[in-house]
Amino acid sequence: MTAPRPMRADARRNYERILNTAREAFLEHGPDAPLDDIARRAGVGAGTLYRHFPTRETLVEAVYRDDIERLSAAAHRLLAEYEPSEALNRWMREQVAFVLHKRGLAATLKAAMDRDSDTFALCKAMMNEAAAAVLKPAQETGAVRADVRPRDLLLLGHGVSIAAEGNDETAERLLTVMLDGLRQPKT
């Protein structure tokens, strides 16, 4: 099987505009936002939208996957910039902020996707890999308890976001308490 051809620069720009416009439209109107309206707001024709995203489902999945790819990539970017425990702390803050501010959108998009889809499985794998990527180095330096699992980070971050009910100050306080609980106890 051959790899797909890279997109021309103008096609890539259209793809990104459609994706960003769809994200905004889905946030405002849910996954049933009119596709023709998304195309118009993105400044492209309906044919361009459908060439990139032949169905509503492919557009919904692309928006969700793009958000998860960005959050996952942040784990690796932070590891390159900060020492392990700081990278973990910062990534947890990004994860909580994502859930806190995009919870409705993410939940809506997830509900519109097939749970058995390749995209859903890929996103789950990306998040688990990102959590493992920031967790393992922090554990290896002795900064984080050895019994913490990558999935724990995802569940804890989600739980903090839900408990904070959209309040950034409450989320920060709960996140600080949670991150303190992850630390390796001093002997």
Residue 27 has pLDDT above 60, yes or no: yes
Q: What is the pLDDT of residue 100?
A: 79
- What count of Cα atoms within 13 Å lies in the side-chain half-sphere of residue 82? 15
**Mean pLDDT (whole number) for 36-47:** 95
Q: What is the pLDDT of residue 175?
A: 93
Looking at residue 40, its amino acid is R
Q: pLDDT, tens digit, for every residue of 67-79?
A: 999 999 999 999 9
Residue 148 · residue 182 · CB < 8 Å: yes
Query: For residue 144, what are the β-bridge partners?
Result: 183
What value does the mean pLDDT take over residues 143-167? 92
Amino acid sitting at position 143:
A
Q: Give domain limits for the chain.
A: 8-54, 56-182
- The architecture of the domain spanning 8-54 is Orthogonal Bundle (1.10)
Q: Is the pLDDT of residue 117 over 70?
A: yes
CA 129 from centroid of its chain's CA atoms: 12
| pLDDT category of residue 166 using cuts at 50, 70 and 90 | confident
For domain 56-182, give the CATH superfamily: Tetracycline Repressor, domain 2 (1.10.357.10)
- Is the distance from CB of 57 to CB of 113 less than 8 angstroms? yes
Per-residue pLDDT, averaged over 12-25, amounts to: 93
Do 138 and 88 contact (CB within 8 A), yes or no?
yes
Output the pTM of the full model.
0.81
More confident residue, 4 or 95: 95
- 181 pLDDT exceeds 80? yes
What is the rounded average pLDDT of the residues 174-179?
93
Task: At 4, list the tokens.
Answer: 């797909």
